[in-house]
């Protein structure tokens, strides 16, 4: 994938429960790592949408986690070698990188597919978009 394809395909940053530390992971992890390494926050004027706030517009049979929601709405096989995310934590702690990368890729693919479905079936006004630009930049 070249940068033109990526730029043409990207409209907003998407995560699934990516905003809070205990309940999510993505943005708190990124913020902490950028801070620890003295890097600027790269998501300046980029919109962000969390799919966990959109999937409740579907009947997911009380499933609320990424894998459960994906299985109900999409149901396709993924490249995820793990049955649950606890195994990914174990893989990280033991340095078993290939399965961990496959797990991360599967989560990215699941989130993207859910975002695509939401983009087809959920009202635009239901997307709670926000800008990731910090106020003092």
pLDDT at 10 over 80: no
For residue 51, what pLDDT band results from cuts at 50, 70 and 90? very high
- Over residues 40-44, mean pLDDT: 87
CB 16 within 8 A of CB 118: no
For residue 68, being part of any structural domain is answered with yes
Q: Please indicate, yes or no, if residue 84 is contained in any of the structural domains.
A: yes
**Is residue 121 in a domain?**
yes
Domain membership of residue 67 (yes or no) is yes
Provide the pLDDT for residue 43. Answer: 86
Q: Is residue 93 part of a domain?
A: yes
Label residue 12 by pLDDT band (50, 70, 90).
Answer: confident
Is 41 part of a structural domain of the chain? yes
Residue 137 inside a domain? The answer is: no
Pairing of strands 13-15, 47-50: parallel
Query: Alpha-carbon distance 106 to 102, whole Å?
Result: 6
Residue numbers of the domain that contains 62: 3-131
Q: Rounded to an integer, what distance in angstroms lies between the CA atom of residue 65 and that of residue 7?
A: 29
In a domain, 29, yes or no: yes
Copy the structure tokens of residue 82.
């793990």
The full DSSP string for the chain is --HHHHHHH-SSEEESS-SSTTT--HHHHHHHHHHHTTPPPS-TT-EEEEGGGTGGGS--TT--SHHHHHHHHT----S---SSHHHHHHHHHHT-HHHHHHHHHHHHHHHHHHHHHHHHHS-GGG---EE---S--
- Overall average pLDDT of the 10-24 stretch: 78
How many domains would you assign to the chain? 1
pLDDT category of residue 13 using cuts at 50, 70 and 90: confident
What pLDDT score was predicted for residue 1?
A: 41
């Amino acid at each position: 994938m070249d940068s033109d394809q990526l730029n043409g395909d990207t409209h907003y940053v998407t995560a699934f429960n990516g905003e809070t530390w205990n309940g999510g992971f993505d943005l708190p992890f990124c913020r902490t790592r950028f801070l620890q390494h003295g890097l600027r926050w790269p998501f300046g004027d980029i919109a962000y949408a969390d799919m966990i706030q959109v999937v409740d517009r579907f009947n997911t049979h009380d499933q609320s986690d990424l894998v459960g929601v994906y299985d109900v709405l999409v149901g396709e096989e993924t490249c995820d070698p793990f049955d649950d995310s606890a195994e990914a934590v174990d893989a990280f702690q033991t340095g078993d990188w290939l399965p961990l990368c496959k797990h991360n890729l599967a989560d990215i693919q699941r989130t993207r597919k859910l975002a695509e479905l939401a983009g087809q079936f959920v009202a635009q006004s239901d997307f709670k978009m926000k800008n990731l630009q910090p106020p003092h930049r």
